[in-house]
Structure 1
Amino acid sequence: MVINLKLFLPSLCLAFLACAQPAEKNKIEVTAQNSADSIALAKKLAEEAKKIIPKTAADITLSKSFLYDQHTLEDSYPYQKKTRVFQMDKIKEKLAWIENFQQEKKNYAVLQNYKNKNREAPLVKSYHRDAYTRISDSLNTERYQSAPLYLLGETKTPTIYGRDGSLVQLLSSDTIDMVRFAGISLDGEWEVPKRYVKTIGDSVTFYKVVIVDVTNQNIMTLERESPGKWLIRSMNPATTGRHNPPYAQETPVGTFVLQEKKSKMFYYGDGTTTIEGYAPYANRFTNGAYIHGVPVNNPQGAIVEYSWSLGTTPRSHMCVRNASSHAKHVYNWTKTFNALFVVID
């Protein structure tokens, strides 16, 4: 039988096209589905990227890149018959915590009441007096120079005191008499009278940190280079506050904001109003506690660079003594309300 191709080919083409159409349709549907899946995946990844992944000490790297290289201590060093150290693991924990609380934007503020300038705080619910009539709360935070902290909705009597220099996150407007905050230097959410709060805003970053170790009597300055990476700018001996009431007190452990600088911080003789001398390059972080140079027991005397007592045992009234040139390094390197001083034990 002879097939007429002229008649057969059109029919064959039509049959082929009829068979091809469902496949082409399926291809379009698959492509559309793949596109939808890609968009969904992209959205999921974007949401995952927004999630905060807390850093740990293991995520922090420290590199020595000194801006100040005088009187430098090693990571560990002899002291009398013992070995003293820079507590690197604890320092990394503090730096991880500092990075973590800055991962979300916050409206920062500082509690302030230096020399009770914002009014003496009211008595808290539970307090005690020491042998020198000093009043402290249940956490042993002194009433003098502190801010009264109230439980939310209970503004009649404060529960605890908030130490001067403590960093907090402001949660309510600072245009009202009582403001609400979440603690950063301290735990919990509290209310406090507005007069004890200094707002420092939501654009500040705390990438310069000073670590003081009251156990090993040393000091380290650090600067964040990038997330998780910190540069050690100095490693020096220091002398902290001793327990010798009523005038001398220990340097308090905690995290504080640099609040004030004085090129010369004049001081009175104990129990007098007579100026006994001055401390050069003083950087105040809480109450009357400064990081400063070697005290000069003469108001008109010349700056002393170093003292044999640095890095030995606590001897100060609450301050942190340094070599005077190192105190100058801290003084020039930091800005008020833009650096953290962390005291560890």
Structure 2
Amino acid sequence: MKLYLKLIVLSCCLAAISCNQNKNDKQAAADPAEQRRQDSLETIKKAEEEAKKKPKTAEDIKLSKELSFEKHTLEDTYPYKDTTRAFQLDKIKERLALVENFQRAPATYAILQNHKNKNKEAPLVKNYHRNEYTRISDSLGNERYQSAPLYAIGETKTPSIYGRDGSLVKLRSSDTLDMVQVEGVSFEGTWEAPKRYVKNIGDSVTFHHVVFVDVTNQNIMTVERTGDCEWAIRSMNPATTGRHKPPYAQETPTGLYVVQEKKTKMYYYKDGTTSIEGYAPYASRFTNGAYVHGVPVNNPKGAIIEYSWSLGTTPRSHMCVRNASSHAKFVFDWAKTYNALVIVIE
């Protein structure tokens, strides 16, 4: 008799669950918003399951040559003076595996921003020194100027390091607070940062366009994601990066940055003055005052110059990455603001 009653109770419970599920399904069908919510939850669940799988490595990356820009194209390896230069495909694949991995789980992305200290000069870090450019830097070499202060979790009196302008992070706490918690993509660790230095770019952004700049071989490559771990090479060109020459010229900093700003003409001053000396065409800014741009024109009203003998030779820029002007325009049109990465390797 007791067994019989237990079976009746179990049958009733199963019927109730089925009824509720049918009710929820009907509600979802009748309410598009509810259906979207359920679909979103299912998508997040699948993404979280995918993220738990073994991380992708360089061996998983398929890189094919499908050029969209075909002027001034370099081969995978090519002669330079008495040596040979190359596109460092192994390093490029390693970085693309990183790009694949950090996008596998849902996230709200943000960018650290402080171009020309527009969001206020960052406070002094605990351990700092003054570099050859007479500027204050942290223990990692990141300058205070144009950077965001990063604080150890729970220690918000004095920052530990500086985060470079243009660095990509994931938001780990509400951006309605004065201080927000960020997880580095461009750098390691989880930190706290004042909200004014952190630009939220949302949870739907994808990074399927990447510009690779090689400061050792003085070349530039653009790649586009076409499938799971599948990337197409869109261009392979010579470039000229920044040189170390205090007090004005600085090396192009290695690392991962987000394209933040575009200028059809980026005007520049003559060193040590506020007099405009000329402009660089089709400029895409990715960190501090560093742009991917065309051949500089030392005349504010001069015509665009397509190519320079110095491209692909030795570093001679002030921090920027010089290209053939037509290639700079290709990057300008192809790499969308807040939706493309610039990765500088050495």
Where on the TM-score scale, by shorter chain, does this alignment land: which range? 0.7 to 0.9
- Write out per-residue CA displacement over residues 197-237 of structure 1, whole angstroms, 9 at most, x where no aligned residue: 00001100000000000000000000000011100000000
| Structure 2 gap ranges (5+) | 1-45
Deviation at 1:92, TM superposition (A): 0.5
Report the 3-state secondary structure (helix = DSSP H, G, I; strand = E; otherwise coil) of the residue aligned with 1:326: helix
Give the total of aligned pairs: 301
Question: Structure 1 residues 52 and 157 mapped into 2: Cα distance closer, same or farther (>3 Å)?
Answer: same
Say whether 1:56 aligns with 2:45. Answer: no
Question: Structure 1 residues 279 and 126 mapped into 2: Cα distance closer, same or farther (>3 Å)?
Answer: same
Note if contact 1:239-1:310 (Cα within 8 Å) is conserved in structure 2: yes
- Write out per-residue CA displacement over residues 94-113 of structure 1, whole angstroms, 9 at most, x where no aligned residue: 00110011000110000000
Give the TM-score taking structure 2 as reference length: 0.85
Question: Structure 1 residues 46 and 123 mapped into 2: Cα distance closer, same or farther (>3 Å)?
Answer: closer
CA–CA distance in structure 2, aligned partners of residues 104 and 174 of structure 1: 20
- Write out per-residue CA displacement over residues 167-199 of structure 1, whole angstroms, 9 at most, x where no aligned residue: 000001111100001100010010000000000
Aligned residue number for residue 106 of structure 2: 105
CA–CA distance in structure 1, aligned partners of residues 159 and 56 of structure 2: 34
Aligned residue number for residue 156 of structure 1: 157
Note if contact 2:47-2:105 (Cα within 8 Å) is conserved in structure 1: no
Deviation at 1:334, TM superposition (A): 1.5
One-letter amino acid of the structure 1 residue matched with residue 103 of structure 2? Q
Note if contact 2:132-2:247 (Cα within 8 Å) is conserved in structure 1: no
Aligned residue number for residue 166 of structure 1: 167
CA–CA distance in structure 1, aligned partners of residues 207 and 330 of structure 2: 17
1:245-256 to structure 2, matched below 5 A, reads: 245-256=246-257
Deviation at 1:61, TM superposition (A): 1.0
| Structure 1 gap ranges (5+) | 1-44
1:1-345 to structure 2, matched below 5 A, reads: 51-345=52-346
Report the 3-state secondary structure (helix = DSSP H, G, I; strand = E; otherwise coil) of the residue aligned with 2:339: coil
Deviation at 1:53, TM superposition (A): 2.6
Q: State the structure with more CA Rg.
A: 1
Note if contact 2:67-2:233 (Cα within 8 Å) is conserved in structure 1: yes
One-letter amino acid of the structure 2 residue matched with residue 70 of structure 1? K
Note if contact 2:278-2:298 (Cα within 8 Å) is conserved in structure 1: yes
Deviation at 1:132, TM superposition (A): 4.0
Question: Structure 1 residues 46 and 170 mapped into 2: Cα distance closer, same or farther (>3 Å)?
Answer: closer
CA–CA distance in structure 2, aligned partners of residues 186 and 47 of structure 1: 22
Note if contact 1:52-1:103 (Cα within 8 Å) is conserved in structure 2: no
Runs of 4+ aligned residues of structure 1 deviating over 2 Å after TM superposition are: 45-53, 130-133
Give the TM-score taking structure 1 as reference length: 0.86
CA–CA distance in structure 2, aligned partners of residues 123 and 98 of structure 1: 32
Deviation at 1:46, TM superposition (A): 12
Aligned residue number for residue 3 of structure 1: none
Question: Structure 1 residues 277 and 149 mapped into 2: Cα distance closer, same or farther (>3 Å)?
Answer: same
